[in-house]
Structure 1
Amino acid sequence: MKVRRRVAAATALLLAAVAGCDSGTSTGSDSGLEKDTVVVAALPLLDVAALHIAMARRMFQAEGLTVKVQPVAQSLAALPALQNGQVDVIAGANYVTFLQAHAQGTLKLKIIADGAAQAPRFMRLLVAPDSPIRTPADLAGRTVAVNILNNIQSLTLNEILTAEGVDPSTVKYRAVPFPLMDKALAGGDVDAVHTGEPFGTVIERRLKARMVVDGGGPPVTGLPVSGYVSSAEFVTKYPRTAAAFQRAIEKAQALAAADRSAVERVLPSYAKVDEQTATALTLPGYPAAPDAARMRRLIGLMVKQGLLKADIDPAGLIFTPAAR
């Protein structure tokens, strides 16, 4: 499905998500920022742990910022709000979707900070305990659930299958939202689910599901998954504000990468997992900053698999603030 169609379908969700949320146009008196309030649309994913760490540890306040978080179910649902200025930043934005939006002219994308990168077992392909599927080769002709068709899950799984000598075109993908994957697998609606955390751990526990493919293993380990994105208009109009937000997030990203307990402490507050589950989850990578080489790798895979028609120079997408 084209990005424009998905944007149209998400408009109704968007209106509910941003209702009552002001755009934060107030000016900081002493901070030197163009405005001191940033509205962030955020998904309830492990990808955005740094956002909540930064809020809990007053890292934004240290930069002179007030951050208002507006929860959304899908990052795409917040795209129209980003375009019209109701939202300043989308946290946990799926890079595949937003790179497509940029390529199609729907959004002039700017990446402010990285969110998550692939790590072993962060994504995983699971089957029922009595499934005959034992190896990647057994997936030929089978139906695999993914959260969104033609996106990061199928992109990475296709690359893994190719490395294993399996033709990805023999796999049938079906869109199933993450929270419904356990029911789809238990009911036999799909043969396997390719899911991410925290859903992978929950499904393994609830159904005694088996992992057949490590969706974060080689050859996709380290591949960028999501980030904190905005528009070129926002960073051009509010460069010091964007830079302050970037500094706070990157400090929190470094803390998330270095101290697992910092992530575990914030997860129950926004990701709907209890403290016990939080300690069992497999975390993604938390890159310190966006990296053009890693983004180029993702873009190359998208072009290879037909998710982008042409190459994009990632260096022009990454927000680089002027020296303070």
Structure 2
Amino acid sequence: MAGCTAAPASNSSDTGSSGSAKLTDVTVGIVPFSPNAILFHAMDSGIFKKHGLNVTTQPAASPIEVSAAMLSGTQQFGFITTPVLINAAIAGTSLKCVSPIDGELSSDRDASALVASKKSGITSLEGFAGKKFAVVQLGSINRLGAQKLFDDAGVKKVEYVAIPFPQMPQALADGRVDGAVITSPFSGTAIAAGAKVLAHPSSDTWPNGTIYCYAATAQYLQKNAKVAAAFQAAMKESILYTKDHEQEVLKSLVEHLKLTPEVASKQVIPSNYVPEINDKSIGAIQDEMKKQDWIKTTVPIGELVWDGK
């Protein structure tokens, strides 16, 4: 896939009847979850338009699908977790983080949780030995964090299965899996049905880290640096705005994720609202991937983060 041709520079559209200004059309691939609220707010409030962008989104079940769409040229930016970013680089496919999703990961506010199903009766990490455990994809940041917690607790022979987030609550309730790492807003449904929160793998393991980002292909960035800079600046503005207006920003989830106003208001944006990529944490995640034998080699962090050039 490294040889795929990136999309040509994005199309432009008029901002109004005057035709005096042009907006650059870009499509952003997302995996629907609550932190998307910051992107949605930038779309709805006019922040992207102020920076010259007309942004639309395309949902996917996992970051793997998003990365494939960027490589095919159908999406210009997309949601990527750090392990997917690293694996792509090792495979010779150059994707680079352009912007945080919501800032750095808060050390005490996590949108994802490691839960045990009500039917399992599990009350501690040790109870997952030999049990079936759901993650959104087998190479996900959620599995990496969960596996580290299990390893640290001496838990062996956990059977991992891939299940999309929206299907996890039912799988837990039915007893098809004994536990999962599940994210907001789907975690609320699972917890309401009796799932028990035992840990928060991402914030427990990489507090203040970058576990995901909006990325683009190196080829797209080389040809469209001004567009990328505008996207980055707009996301920074929206992240900083959300710090002091979180409830306002969460309202965007009503339209874009089809949540009720009550449910939307209770969602967690797991951010410290520092609008930067934490390079050091990307290195720590890569080291953990190598420790767990997910990868045999490593790549320089500078190859994974866009430097604006």
- Give the direction of change, closer, same or farther, for the CA distance of 1:43–1:138 in structure 2 (3 Å limit): closer
* 1:166 corresponds to: 154
Structure 2 counterparts to residues 3-22 of structure 1, below 5 A: none
Q: Distance in 2 between matches of 1:237 and 1:199?
A: 38
**Alignment identity in percent?**
23
* 2:217 corresponds to: 231
Q: Distance in 2 between matches of 1:72 and 1:174?
A: 18
TM-score (norm 2): 0.86
- In the TM superposition, residue 30 of structure 1 has moved relative to its aligned partner by 7.9
User: 2:70 touches 2:216 (CA, 8 Å); kept in 1?
Assistant: yes
User: 1:224 touches 1:298 (CA, 8 Å); kept in 2?
Assistant: no
* 1:45 corresponds to: 33
* 2:278 corresponds to: 291
Structure 2 counterparts to residues 273-288 of structure 1, below 5 A: 273-285=259-271, 286-288=273-275
Structure 2 counterpart of 1:82, from 61, 66, 70: 70
Deviates more, 1:222-231 or 1:207-216: 207-216
- In the TM superposition, residue 130 of structure 1 has moved relative to its aligned partner by 5.2
Matched, 1:151 2:140: yes
- In the TM superposition, residue 244 of structure 1 has moved relative to its aligned partner by 0.9
Q: Deviations over 1:160-192 (max 9, x none)?
A: 2334x323x432211122111122222221111
- Give the direction of change, closer, same or farther, for the CA distance of 1:234–1:23 in structure 2 (3 Å limit): closer
- Give the direction of change, closer, same or farther, for the CA distance of 1:192–1:80 in structure 2 (3 Å limit): closer
* 1:201 corresponds to: 188
Q: Distance in 1 between matches of 2:58 and 2:9?
A: 11
Unaligned runs of 5+ in 1: 8-20
TM-score (norm 1): 0.82
- In the TM superposition, residue 113 of structure 1 has moved relative to its aligned partner by 0.4
* 1:97 corresponds to: 84
How many residue pairs match? The answer is: 297
Deviates more, 1:303-312 or 1:192-201: 303-312
Give the partner amino acid of 1:158. Answer: Q
Matched, 1:184 2:158: no
- In the TM superposition, residue 236 of structure 1 has moved relative to its aligned partner by 0.8
- What secondary structure does 1:193 align onto? strand
- Give the direction of change, closer, same or farther, for the CA distance of 1:159–1:320 in structure 2 (3 Å limit): same
Give the partner amino acid of 2:213. Answer: G
User: 1:22 touches 1:86 (CA, 8 Å); kept in 2?
Assistant: no
* 2:56 corresponds to: 68
Q: Distance in 2 between matches of 1:153 and 1:61?
A: 34
- In the TM superposition, residue 27 of structure 1 has moved relative to its aligned partner by 8.8
- Give the direction of change, closer, same or farther, for the CA distance of 1:216–1:72 in structure 2 (3 Å limit): closer
- In the TM superposition, residue 43 of structure 1 has moved relative to its aligned partner by 2.6
Q: Deviations over 1:232-289 (max 9, x none)?
A: 1111111111111110011112223443213311111212321111222232225402
Give the partner amino acid of 1:140. Answer: A
Q: Distance in 2 between matches of 1:262 and 1:166?
A: 43
- What secondary structure does 2:306 align onto? coil
* 2:300 corresponds to: 313
Deviates more, 1:212-221 or 1:296-305: 212-221
Q: Distance in 2 between matches of 1:132 and 1:83?
A: 44
Q: Distance in 1 between matches of 2:61 and 2:147?
A: 25
